[in-house]
Structure 1
Amino acid sequence: MAALVGRRTLMQALRLQRAERDIACRLAAASSCSRQHAFSVQFSPSSRLNGHGGVTRHYSSDSKDDLRVRYLDGEDSGIVVIGINRPKAKNAISKNLVKMMFEAVEDIKKNNKVRSVILCSLVPGIFCAGADLKERAKMHQSEVGPFVSKARVLITELGNLPTPTIAAIDGAALGGGLEMALACDIRIASNTAKMGLVETKLAIIPGAGGTQRLSRVIGVSLAKELIFAARVIDGTEACRLGLVSHSVEQNQSGDAAYLRALELAREINPQGPIAVRMAKLAINQGIEVDLSTGLAIEEACYAQVIPTKDRLEGLAAFKEKRRPQFKGE
């Protein structure tokens, strides 16, 4: 009976995800513009040689550069780096940034070769300052609700990506910026990073999932305390509270969290991609239900990996004492 309930719950979850994707597509189409597909984050050759893969930052006031997406290659093939790049606006969330992130997320969902995603900033000292309040001030009151709804759907879509997502927080992540990070599976912060849901300072509340996701990550009481007081904490404290998985000492180039995120993505990369996706789905859906139903969801997800070629490849590699070559099939 529990297995049947689990399968029904899983199917409902999959249908819900499809519905959310349809909504996201419609919203993205509503804000349509030709795709800026060649977002180019450039990586420093010297950093690549020593295994760090550091980002070389290039700034521009052109709105098409607000977001840069890099599909890594070589040994890092399968890792996608999404870099926010609005230095003059402290990476604040604008209409254009929302549109570009929708496009990037949609492209990633369609690419079954993607193994993991890193969300980071290309601007030193800032992850994302939250909503673009200068743009918001120019909006008519009737525009605010629909824009916040679009941002909420975007962050939900980010959370629903089937592959693992890692937020690399090397600077301030405030308001909507922290909400984006909360939608990621794993958060890594530099010790000097600043984080907080500070909306009550503006007499509003977190509107893109912050009240729900923060509570699930650090617990209801602590989430209430941080949100009610609009408190900002550093990376070290965030790690102590469980808001981030790792706090790393910031380096001179200001990308310590990114480098640690890249190391983690490289750990995930060689694992069976279908298995990783099913593990994420089982965890995400199971955590919202009772244990019995959660175990049934796990069983249903496990059933999805049994007929895969990757499972047979894993067994063969174990027998032959070699590294498996998974293809996501």
Structure 2
Amino acid sequence: MALRRCAGIHRRLRLGFSDSIDFSSASGRIFTAGSRSPCAARRWPWGIGARGLFVDAADQVSLSALSGSEEGIMVLELNRADAKNAIGVDMLSKFQSALDRLQDDDAARVVILRSVVPGVFCAGADLKERKKMSVFEAQKFVTSLRSTFSSLEVLSLPTIAAVEGVALGGGLELALSCDLRAEATFGLPETGFAIIPGAGGTQRLPRLIGRSRAKELIFTGRRIGADEAKSYGLVEYLTAAGDAYRKALELAKIISNQGPLAIKMAKVAIDRGSEVDAASGMEIEEACYGQVLKSKDRLEGLAAFAEKRSPVYRGD
């Protein structure tokens, strides 16, 4: 998904590879863009079949589609045990490729991001790799890291971070790019390395927990546990140890049963509306509502209610 920003409410948000809402008017309209997301140029050759398990060559990142009662739920897994899921250049490229595939998958309804490495979600950027970079290379990598996390943030699908174990530095910035978070031990230790969070942490964290608390965490670099993270509003759910994925799956199943287009439009309305004044936010909401008003799913929801049955939504 590509996001183009300009002054006030004049903006376009790409919803897929061909359709966008033009927010330059209150009502909004759909137009054909004719080109794919810029991310598509960075595609990675994934493995087997259209709906099977997609794994990169080094098994650092995998993307799988659940089936049966969990159909529509995609699980994006991190698996770089030797580096505690620290993100290097290669892993970042494969993560972006997974996001490209998710955006291109019409059957996907919701995404769970998790680690399969015990005790750690993500230790942040790979500092051993960073040490070997020139200033130019380091700057280029951080720019790519920020861009990839922004791609995750504006993904049209709801995203849930099942954070079991520590999420430090870029790991916390990764979790902050998701819509919902469960569990976790968080920290932004960058100032202890004489740098600052560079993948969106200085922007997303204060918007989520307030400037003073964000400054305290960034200035001190201290870690906070799940209870404190919950009290700050960093995580939505606390779970028993090792149970974050189960909770994320429970939430994903609920979300996947809702109207897919309605979920996408609600995410657009909330995210974009929170960046502008209330009056402009109302215009964004009106534009988004205009899209669901014309959908077949809306008619299906009304019919299912009248017939006292479960709706069968198709995302159109």
Q: TM-score, normalised by structure 2?
A: 0.87
The answer on whether the counterparts of 1:66 and 1:85 sit within 8 Å (CA) in structure 2 is: yes
- Tell me the equivalent position of 1:118: 112
Look up the equivalent residue of 1:307 and give its one-letter code.
K
- Tell me the equivalent position of 1:37: 47
Q: Deviations over 1:229-258 (max 9, x none)?
A: 1010011110011000011121xxx3x111
Q: Report the CA distance between 1:23 and its aligned residue.
A: 4.5
- Tell me the equivalent position of 2:284: 297
Q: TM-score, normalised by structure 1?
A: 0.83
Kindly indicate whether structure 1 or structure 2 has the higher relative contact order, using CA contacts under 8 Å at least 6 residues apart.
1
Give the structure with the higher percent helix: 1
Q: Report the CA distance between 1:137 and its aligned residue.
A: 1.3
Q: Distance in 2 between matches of 1:41 and 1:305?
A: 32
Over the matched positions of the two proteins, sequence identity in percent amounts to 48
Q: Report the CA distance between 1:172 and its aligned residue.
A: 0.6
Q: Distance in 1 between matches of 2:262 and 2:71?
A: 18
Q: Distance in 2 between matches of 1:16 and 1:291?
A: 19
User: Measured at CA, do residues 232 and 63 of structure 1 come closer, stay the same or move farther in structure 2, by a change above 3 Å?
Assistant: farther
Q: Secondary structure at the match of 1:117?
A: strand
Q: Distance in 1 between matches of 2:193 and 2:40?
A: 31
The answer on whether the counterparts of 1:24 and 1:154 sit within 8 Å (CA) in structure 2 is: no
- Of 244, 248, 262, which residue of structure 1 is paired with 2:235? 244
- Tell me the equivalent position of 2:92: 98
Q: Secondary structure at the match of 1:65?
A: coil
Q: Deviations over 1:186-232 (max 9, x none)?
A: 0111xxx3211110010000000000000111011110111011010
Q: Report the CA distance between 1:293 and its aligned residue.
A: 0.9
- Tell me the equivalent position of 1:281: 268
Q: Distance in 2 between matches of 1:320 and 1:138?
A: 64
Q: Distance in 2 between matches of 1:173 and 1:226?
A: 13
Calculate the aligned-residue CA RMSD, in Å.
2.1
Look up the equivalent residue of 1:157 and give its one-letter code.
S
- Tell me the equivalent position of 1:56: none
Number of matched pairs: 289
Q: Distance in 2 between matches of 1:148 and 1:125?
A: 25
Q: Deviations over 1:9-52 (max 9, x none)?
A: 2643447999xx844345x26xxxx513348489xxxxxxxxxx
Matches within 5 A, 1:7-18: 9=9, 11-14=11-14
Structure 1 unaligned blocks of 5 or more: 1-7, 43-61
Q: Distance in 2 between matches of 1:326 and 1:75?
A: 14
Q: Distance in 1 between matches of 2:10 and 2:73?
A: 27
Matches within 5 A, 1:139-150: 139-150=133-144
Q: Which stretch of structure 1 is more off in the superposition, 103-112 or 9-18? A: 9-18
Look up the equivalent residue of 2:136 and give its one-letter code.
S
User: Measured at CA, do residues 16 and 318 of structure 1 come closer, stay the same or move farther in structure 2, by a change above 3 Å?
Assistant: closer
- Of 160, 171, 178, which residue of structure 2 is paired with 1:177? 171
Q: Distance in 2 between matches of 1:301 and 1:11?
A: 13
